[in-house]
Amino acid sequence: MLAQTQGVKRSRDIQPLQLQQPHQGHLGTAPRREADREQMGHQRWEEVEGLLHQRGEDSMTFKDLQEANKQIQTTDIKGKQYAEVNQRIKAFRMCYPEGFIKTELLADADGVCLMRAEVGFGDRILGTGTAYEKESSSYINKTSYIENCETSAVGRALGMAGFGIDTSVASFEEVSNAIAQQEADKKISVTHAKALVNLLAEEGIPASYVCEGYKVKTLADLTEGQHLQIAQNIKKIKKSYESKA
């Protein structure tokens, strides 16, 4: 279980688009609707109006959800289609223009973060989702693992609310990150191990120093993720070694 880092728990509320008030039902009177149209943009307003006219402010039918899901484009991963999170967000806004998306960073320690997300409308929570990411799992995560974790958590929350789940609750981003993590946890390849030996020799860093730091017996016991970390931080490792030599 991840230990919560003191002071790290924080939340972010992605504010919904605010329609002009007051209004009748969800779409408002004609003057207000024109003001809202200018604020939202014509294309988006037409999508919203097509789904929400002739119904109450806080109601949504399953047919509305189905229509919104038809607009979601999916991306192939190993022969299976997955909805990207931005597509789920678009569908959610079609059904709930004034809905909320809230995220909360629960923990961030030792290069691993845990995020929670909620989506809903008014005082109702429609779906929740959690996700975790490792900083070392991929090159992109090296600088953006918290952002990627937030995206995955939002994707799961929207999936639990029924958006973009025709093939899977998991989003394209979540599955991609999981695959990257699996690759990172694999044992280092022979080619990468040889390249690492050469790199350490060029920098004057004993292999035993790196093995001690990663608590492994030989370089061949490292994972691909650890190899990536070493390659990206070779100058820092060299500086640390020279300071202790």
The pLDDT value given to residue 158: 95
**pLDDT, tens digit, for every residue of 165-217?**
877 777 767 777 776 767 667 788 888 888 999 999 998 999 999 888 888 89
53 and 146 share one domain: yes
Report the alpha-carbon distance of residue 131 to residue 175 in Å, rounded: 11
**pLDDT, tens digit, for every residue of 14-59?**
554 443 333 333 333 333 444 545 555 555 555 655 555 444 444 6
SS3 140: coil
SS3 sequence, 56-111? CCCCCCHHHHHHHHHCCCEEEECCEEEECHHHHHHHHHHHCCCCEEEEEEEEEECC
Report the alpha-carbon distance of residue 210 to residue 223 in Å, rounded: 13
42 and 58 share one domain: yes
Q: Which domain holds residue 102?
A: 10-184
The overall pTM is greater than 0.85: no
Residue 98 lies in a domain: yes
136 and 48 share one domain: yes
Report the alpha-carbon distance of residue 44 to residue 34 in Å, rounded: 13
84 and 199 share one domain: no
Residue 1 lies in a domain: no
User: Tokens at residue 115, please?
Assistant: 């995020």
**What's the structural domain count of the chain?**
2
26 and 65 share one domain: yes
Size of the chain in residues: 245
176 and 200 share one domain: no
165 and 208 share one domain: no
Domain boundary among 184, 202, 223: 184
Q: Which of 94, 52, 99, 49 is nearest to 71 (CA)?
A: 94
Residue 141 lies in a domain: yes
